[in-house]
Amino acid sequence: MIRIAFSHTGRQLSTRVAGAALREKIIEGIENDQKIIFDFAGVDIVSNSFADECFAKLMLHFDLPVVKEHTTFQNASPFIKAVIANSFKERLQAMHTH
């Protein structure tokens, strides 16, 4: 099991660079069939660009059921959950229109 404490990155997660770096860890974990816990304790804000880069772009590598099966969100505020859910929705729409 892998626990990613996002507070180590900062209270405000906003850059694509940070999101991409974490996504590589997540991809590796899923490929190794590990359960990944995303812990948002101490995080106030997640930007759309961070959420797209870190989470939604996982859809370029795995199907949504695979991502859901291997990941769990903890301590995410309703705002953070909404931003992440929206990023998945937008990424899926973009993938289906191209």
Query: What is the 3-state secondary structure of the chain?
Result: CEEEEHHHCCCEECCHHHHHHHHHHHHHHHHCCCCEEEECCCCCEECHHHHHHHCHHHHHCCCHHHHHHHEEEECCCHHHHHHHHHHHHHHHHHHHHC
**Whole-structure pTM value:** 0.92
**Residue 34 is part of which domain span?**
2-97
pLDDT above 70 for 98: no
- Predicted pLDDT of residue 31: 97
52-78: pLDDT as tens digits: 999 999 999 999 999 999 999 999 999
Mean pLDDT of 6-26: 95
User: Into how many domains does the chain fold?
Assistant: 1
pLDDT tens column, 36-51? 999 999 999 999 999 9
Q: Is the pLDDT of residue 1 over 90?
A: yes
